[in-house]
Structure formats: C-alpha cells, structure tokens
A and B are shown apart, each in its own frame.
Chain A
Amino acid sequence: MILTITTNEVHMSSLLSTTTSRRNLLLGGASLLGAAGLAACAPASGGSGGSGSKTLNVLFFGTQQKADETAKVAEPFIKANPGVTVKFTGINGTDWNDFFTKVLTQIAGGNPPDIVSVATEGVQLFAQKKLAHPLDEYVKRDKDQLASYFKDVHPSLVEAMMYKGNLYELPTDFNAGNMYFNTKVLKSSGLELPKPDWTMDEFKTLATAMKKGSPDAVPFDWVVRLWGSWTSFMYANGGNLLTEGKYSGGDWLWNDMYKGVTGAEGRGGGWQWGAPTANSDAVVESLDFVHELIAGGLSAKPDVGGGSTLQGLFSNDKIGMSIGGGFWAGGLHNAGMKPDAFDVQFFPKWKVQRHLFGTGGYGIFESSKNKDLAWEFLKSLVEPKSIEVLTAGNSTTPARRSMVTEERYAPTGPKNWKVFYDTLDKLPNSAPIPAPPYYNAMATALNQRTTEAMSSGNVKQALDGLQKDLETAAASTGS
C-alpha cells in the first residue's frame, strides 16, 4: 500500500509539472483510478474482515435512530466480552422487500455484515443463497444453555426459521394476523368485541352494522402486502399461494428440545413451498370476498405498503376493523390511542380458523470471520432481558411465551392481549406466510396483481396472471 501511494505521488508530481506529456497524464490518471479502486476494495475500518478485529457488524431493519436504541441490547454482551464491540447499522425500508434489496446491495458493495436481522420473509432466500450459516452444530453443542429458551418458544416459530432441515435463526419475536377493533366505532355502532370463535358471516354482519352505526368510519381497511392482507382471508379459507409442504429433517431439534411438547408433533425441517396455487378456487374466492367488501362499502380501497397510513386512520377513528399483529399495540399507542381505545380478537373462522404469522430473529452471515463470537451474541439476544429491549414499547410480540403478560400490555393495551400467543397455542394450524427463496419477486407480483384485481374487478384474471408470475419466478430460482 505504501508503495502504491509513493507511485501515485510520483505521477501526481508529473501531472503538476508544466511539461506534462500526454503519456504522463494518462499514467497519472490511471494511478488515481487504481488508488480509487484499491480504496473501494479495502475493508472499512473497524470491520470484521480480515483484520481479525473483534467487532460484530449487525444490520438492523429500521432507522439508524432505532438501531442505536436497539444497540443497548448488546451492552451486557460487551461487558461480558471485554475488547468486543457490536455495531448496529440501521437499514430503513418500507417493507422487508425493500430491506433485503438494500442488504443485498451492501453485500454487492463488498461489505457483508456478521449478523443480520431477518424475518420469515427472507430466511429461505438467505439460506438458499448460502448467505446464512446454519446454527445446528451450535444449538446441539449448547442445548443445555438453550433448553429454557426452547421451552418458552412455540415450535411453529422455530420451524419457520428452518430450511431443508437446518435451523438458521433463533426467533426473538413474531406477529400473527389478528383482528383489531376500534372501541369507539364498535360502541357507537352498538356492538361488542366478537367471541373468539366468530365466523366470516359474523364478520360481514358486524361490518354492515358498523357502516350503519358509524357513517364517518369505514368498517374495515387493509393494506396490499403479503402479511396480514387479503391473504389472511385466504388462510382462513384454507387456501395458499403456494403448495404447502415440509422439508424432512430437524429431528435432532424436535427430539432434543421439544420432546412431548404440545404443538411439536408433525414438525419437520422447515416449510417447503411448492408449485404455485394462486388461481385455485379457495384463493380466488378469498380475493373475491374482499373485493365484494369494497364494492359493498364495507371496506376501504387499500393502499400498497407498510401500513403506517392504516394505523394513522385507525387511531383517528376512521376505521372500525383491521388486521394487525402484536406490533399494532405499540403502533396505536404511539399514535395516541389509549389502552382501552382498541381491542383485538382472533381472525374469524371461514372454512378454518387459521392465522398467518411472521417471525423475526438474527442470523449469522456465512462470510463472517467471527462466527463463534456471533453465535455467542445470538444466544444473548434470546435472553429475556434482550428480548425486552428488542420488543420495547410493544413494537412487536416477544417470541417467549412467558413475556407476553398482562403487565406488558397494561400501558399500551389491548385488553384481550392473550390472543397474541393463543394464536399459536390454541390454533396450532397457524402457519408462516409463504416465503420461498423468490420472496421478492413474489411480493412484487402479489402487490401488482392485487391492485389489478381491485381496479378491474376481474379477480380471476388477475390471479391467473399472478399464477403465471409465480411460475416464472419459481422457475428462475429452480424452486
């Protein structure tokens, strides 16, 4: 490197001389370019690259401000490991699709992290591309240390973090698509929170009553996306965008950590998302149902995106019902809603009372030079104290059952908070959102075809298009 600088200095001096020839100019220019190239290729200072430094770089989905707040989670770990630093970098995005795009761009830029926060949406993508490192050997080695964690976490969340028999993450939080109610709209319509086993007919009756009783509010609203959208209706109708299956494997985990645990039976080595079924009868019927809600004035026309607008409208009493997870409790509280201004119930039963969910956690990058250290940090992240930081303000639902308590939801609401974990415990058919390795293409196609269906009214044609899109996407990744 010193030699390079010296050479550049020589050429720079040539450049600055008054008798510069064209040859010298070209040489100087080439040297400058070379230096720029080398600078671009050099690892960032403080990185965990080849320098052997003990810095763990963590990519976090959120603003840098949120990342800085979350970085507190690393304080006990840093204290216990002198000389180690943990750097949280926030990557902001409208949704997981946006986040992955930016993470992949960072990898393309030659700056892969050690650890990355990845939700269900990206687990299989990261695993299939061999970006994530399997945790199997670490878990087997430290199974005694992790016994209390697994005992506290529903097996469906753990299974959602597996791909082809390997475990890639330890879940820290999750969100299932439950139904939220604006208490003011309910009361002004003379209605009460429905019972847990309410049906889709009752949902429609309730929405109709809301329309009459609260003309200033729209009974139901939703967002065009994969999680908690019309896809919740699709799950309740027994449909899915892709054929459901399970990879074999994972026995080492189920036999060791979940032996005899209710809900662990029938678990495998992760969800295997097979051939697209986007234009199957159940799926078409589901989207048709939602389209009819809009046509009948029972639902607003949806936006595409993350759902912040939806929360804003809900908190301003403009919406009676919407699909939300535990994260809505924190979101609505931050939007100024009092704990009793909203409540939550299971999603209604149609053919089945099945919920979709997504779970989040942290994975180790295959390219990390500090995998052992990263694993130690990952273990510290699933400690109750860490999950307390990660789920602060009920920005999401803790993956540990013991942490979903009355005390937690007293400041924010809702009153019926038990629904969050009961969705997993009492409705064991709840399943993760379909998130194959081609998730990005799938999410884009879903958004596009849903808006097409809503604007044209031709649901079948739009879903036929989605089916083709998914077939193309699946073929391109060899899935």
Chain B
Amino acid sequence: MTTVPARGGLPGARRAGGPRPRPHHTPAMRQESRFGWMMFALSGLAILVFTALPIVFTLLLSFFTWDVITPPQFVGFQNFQKLASDTAVIHSFGVTGLLAVLIVILQIVIGLTMALLVQQRKSTWARSIFRTAFFLPLLVSAASISIVFSYLFDTNFGVVNYYLQLIGIAPVDWMNSPAGATATIVIVAVWQKLGFVFILFVAALGSLPQDVLEAVSLDGSGPIRTFFSIKLPLISPTIFFAAVIGMIDAMQIFDQPYVMTKGGPGDSTTTTVMLIYRTAFQNIDFGYGSAISVVLFLLLLLLTWMQFTVSRKWVFYS
C-alpha cells in the first residue's frame, strides 16, 4: 500500500501530546466556510427563536398559571392533574382522534384511487391538468375554503341541500347535527389536503419498476391482482409516509371546525387545538392551555412511534 505524505506530517499520524496539525485553507475555502457558518447561524437562530424557544416556553408554562396580565405563578403538576379529570379535554381528544382517523383513511383511499385513474391516462397534458386541478385546493387557505363550504352546506339555504332536494333527497342537517358537522369537516379537510397525497401517489406509481410490471403481466396477472400483490407492496413506503404526515396534520385540525361549526353543535366538533386556543386565548389561561399542548405533543409522539413500530410488519422497502 502506498501512502502519500500530507503537508505537515505523516499520513494519519497524531503524535501523542503533540500539536494538532492545522489544515491549510485557500481563500476560496475560507470564503466558503464563512458563508457556510453564516447560513448555519441564520437558520440556527430562526430554529431557536421560532421553534425551540416556543417549545421550551410552552413546556415551562405548563407548570404555571398565567393570565397575561399578572405575573405567572408556579403550580407544579396541578395543570396536568386537572387535565386528567377534565371531561372537555378528554372529549376533545376523542373528537380529534375520530376526525384524524377518518381524514387519513379517506385521503389515502381517495388519493390513491385518483392517482391510479390518472395513471391510466396516456396523454401527458391530461395528466398535467389533473395533477394541477387536484393540487390547487392545497394552495388556498383552509379558512377561506371553510367559509365557502359553510355556505354550500348551509342547512336552510345551502346549494348542496338544494340539489339533494332536486333529486328527491330530504335536506341534510349538515352543520346542526353532530354527525352532519363531523361529516362536513371531514369532507372539507379531505378535499383540501387530497392534492398532497395524490401527488405522492402519482410519483410513487410513476417510479414503479416497469420490468417487474411487464413480467407479472406476461405471467397473466390481472389488474386487480397486480395492484394488490405488486403495486401496493411496492408503494407501501409512500402509504406509510402519507399516513404518518396525515395523522400529525389531522391531529392538529383547527381551521375547519373553528370557521364552520365553532366546535358545535354542543362540543361535538371541538378539537384539541380548538380547546387549546379557547383555554389560552379566550379564557386567558395560558398555563393550562400549554399543559394541553404538551399532552397533545406527547400523544402525537406516541402515535408516530406506534405507526413506525407497526410499519415493520407491512411496509416493504426494497
């Protein structure tokens, strides 16, 4: 083996107790290094100020009571003890969980179905139009969409009930009944976020190995068999990714119920983030609001860990 001596000493040699060799830097390297450190400092500062500090502050605040106006008072674990027996909080976790499960399942099923249908289109322009059309809702704010949908789903004067009546279906109590309100929120949330999942699946299906697909086709496998036995296992990492991201996003649902139902009727659509908002900003109890936030964070962490654990049994990486 041939070794090339490096400047300033033998290759790889670090003499015990000796000075550390200083690497030589050219002006270009120095400039690059400066730029690198500057970028690191800026992004590091942004993460510290806008992410890390609020997280630490929220965690600390959960051990205090604070009404903004008077100084915070340390209460230890009192907020968490109160939370454990607070039926409103427990109910909100139930509501959020139900909405999240429905939203994630529907997003994945509909998104995948649509991606499969679009994949059937051979012309590139048709695919582009579909991709753009399905992705557009994601670019509009959830609040604006919710306002428009609340008009569409209005029980008395909404367009949806108008057309239902035209085909002989009785008007549905969309936002004035617990089931109707839940369904409306799920419809709006799924409709808006569908584009993201759809694009993921289009990309995943487009990158499937053609030789494998051709081989199974030659073996006489039909489209259904090919989908369930070949395509689905091959895109399982994408499904897993969509499920994890979707669940984290859906567990923080706020805009749609806040704008469309205000959490009602009763508290049937009051989600955990809505409750955090009400507690902290409307009832001016930032300590308790922070405690609920911390529990939601831990719950999300647990759910994600569980998804990763279970994924070992069904996600196929190749």
Q: How far apart sit A20 and B266, CA to CA, in the bound complex (Å)?
A: 59
Cβ contact within 8 Å between A36 and B49: yes
Q: Which of B280-296 contact A (CB under 8 A)?
A: 281-285
Residue B128 CB within 8 A of the other chain: no
Give, as a whole number of angstroms, the nearest-CB distance from B179 to chain A.
Answer: 10
Q: Tell me which of A16, A20, A452 contacts B264 (CB under 8 A).
A: A452
Interface status of A97 (Cβ within 8 A of chain B): yes
CB distance from B292 to the nearest CB of A (A): 15
Q: Is the CB–CB distance between A107 and B263 below 8 Å?
A: no
Which residue in chain A gives the minimum CB-CB distance to B66? A108
Number of interface residues of B (CB under 8 A): 40
Closest chain B CB from A300 CB (angstroms): 4
Task: Decide yes or no whether B94 CB sits under 8 A from chain A.
Answer: no
Q: CB < 8 Å: which of A15, A101, A131, A318 contacts B282?
A: A101
Assuming the contacts A18-B25, A97-B282, asked whether A451 and B37 have C-beta atoms less than 8 A apart, the reply is: no
Give B6-50 as 1s and 0s: 1 = Cβ < 8 Å from A's Cβ atoms: 000000000000000000010001100110011001001100110
What is the 8 Å Cβ interface bit string for chain A, positions 445-473, against chain B (1 contact, 0 not)? 00111011011100000100000000001
Interface-forming stretch among A25-33, A153-161, A207-215? A25-33
Q: Are B264 and A304 in contact (CB under 8 A)?
A: yes
Query: In the assembly, what is the distance between CA of A456 and CA of B284, in Å?
Result: 30
B156 touches A218 (CB 8 A): yes
Contact between chains at A300 and B69 (CB < 8 Å)? no
Q: Mark B156-197, 1 if CB is under 8 A from A, else 0.
A: 110000000000000001001110000000000000000000
Q: Does A105 contact B (CB under 8 A)?
A: yes
Closest B residue to A302 using CB positions: B176
Tell whether, in the assembled complex, residue A444 and residue B278 are in contact, meaning their CB atoms are under 8 Å apart: yes
CA distance in complex: A301, B174 (Å): 11
Q: Is the interface of A mostly helix, strand, loop or mixed?
A: helix
CB-CB nearest in chain A for B282: A440
- Residue of A15, A129, A130, A313 touching B37 (CB-CB under 8 A): A15
Whether B266 pairs with A28 at a CB distance below 8 angstroms is: no
Whether B48 lies near A18 (C-beta < 8 A) is no
Determine if A101 and B281 form an interchain contact, defined as CB atoms under 8 angstroms apart: yes
A451 touching B45 in the complex, CB below 8 Å, given contacts A304-B264, A441-B282: no
The verdict on A104 contacting chain B, using a C-beta distance below 8 Å, is: yes
Report yes or no: A18 in contact with B33, Cβ–Cβ below 8 A.
yes
Given known A-B contacts A29-B45, A97-B282, A455-B177, A304 and B38 have beta carbons under 8 A apart = no
Collect the chain A residues with CB atoms within 8 Å of residue B157's CB: 300, 313, 318
Provide the bound-state CA to CA distance between A218 and B171, in Å.
15
Q: Are A451 and B281 in contact (CB under 8 A)?
A: no
Instruction: Return the chain B residue nearest A32 by Cβ.
Output: B45
Q: Does B307 contact A (CB under 8 A)?
A: no
Asked whether A104 lies within 8 Å of B281 as measured between CB atoms, the reply is: yes
Tell me the smallest distance from the CB of A334 to a CB of chain B, in Å. Answer: 19
Any chain B CB within 8 A of the CB of A305?
Answer: yes
**Contact in complex: B282, A451 (CB < 8 Å):** no
Query: A301 touching B282 by the CB < 8 A rule?
Result: no
Asked if A452 and B266 make an inter-chain contact with CB atoms under 8 angstroms apart, the answer reads: yes
What is the bound-complex CA distance between A28 and B40, given in angstroms? Answer: 12
Known: A304-B264, A447-B262. A18 touches B281 (CB 8 A): no
**Are A305 and B262 touching (Cβ within 8 A)?**
yes
Number of A interface residues in the complex (CB < 8 A): 45
- For A101, list chain B residues within 8 Å (CB): 281-282
Structural contact, B176 and A454, CB atoms closer than 8 A: yes
Say yes or no: A451 contacts B49, CB within 8 Å. no
Q: How far is the CB of A448 from chain B (nearest CB, A)?
A: 6
Taken together as a complex, chains A and B put the C-alpha atoms of A449 and B267 apart, in Å, by 8
Is A448's CB under 8 angstroms from B263's CB? yes
Nearest Cβ distance between residue B52 and chain A, in whole angstroms?
Answer: 10
A462 CA to B263 CA in the complex, in Å?
15
Contact of A33 among B49, B69, B151 (CB under 8 A): B49
Point out the residues of chain A lying under 8 angstroms from B270, CB to CB.
448
* Contact of B284 (CB < 8 Å), options: A104, A303, A318: A104
Q: Select the residue from B29, B68, B265 with max chain A CB neighbours within 10 A.
A: B265
Does the CB pair B34–A451 fall under 8 Å? no
Q: Which of B154, B178, B264 contacts A448 (CB 8 A)?
A: B264
**B281 & A455 in contact (Cβ 8 Å cutoff):** no
Give A87-107 as 1s and 0s: 1 = Cβ < 8 Å from B's Cβ atoms. 000000000010001001101
Residue B119 CB within 8 A of the other chain: no
Cβ of B155 under 8 Å from chain A: yes
B261 within 8 A of A: yes
CB-based contact B266/A104 at 8 Å: no
- Other-chain contact of B38, A16, A303, A447 (Cβ < 8 Å): A16
Residue in A32, A440, A455 whose CB lies within 8 Å of B283: A440
Minimum CB–CB distance for A163 against chain B, Å: 16
Taking the nearest CB of chain B, how far is it from the CB of A167, in angstroms?
21
- Asked whether, in the complex, the Cβ of B34 is within 8 Å of the Cβ of A452, the reply is no
Q: Is the CB of B41 within 8 A of A455?
A: no
Residue of B nearest to A438 (CB): B283
Q: Which of B217-267 contact A (CB under 8 A)?
A: 261-267
What 7 A-B pairs come out closest when comparing CB atoms? A452-B266, A451-B264, A455-B265, A451-B265, A108-B68, A304-B262, A300-B156
Of the A-B pairs whose beta carbons lie under 8 Å apart in the complex, a sample of 22, sorted by A's number, is A17-B34, A18-B34, A29-B45, A32-B45, A97-B282, A104-B68, A104-B284, A108-B68, A129-B67, A221-B156, A303-B150, A304-B262, A304-B264, A309-B151, A440-B282, A448-B263, A451-B176, A452-B266, A454-B176, A454-B265, A455-B176, A455-B178
With A451-B264, A454-B265 given, name 20 new contacts (CB 8 A).
A17-B34, A18-B30, A29-B48, A33-B48, A104-B68, A104-B69, A107-B68, A108-B68, A129-B69, A303-B150, A438-B283, A440-B282, A447-B262, A447-B264, A448-B263, A452-B266, A452-B267, A452-B268, A455-B173, A455-B264
A positions within 8 Å CB-CB of B: 15-18, 20, 25, 28-29, 32-33, 36, 97, 101, 104-105, 107-108, 129-131, 218, 221, 300-301, 303-305, 309, 313, 318, 438, 440-441, 444, 447-449, 451-452, 454-456, 462, 473, 476
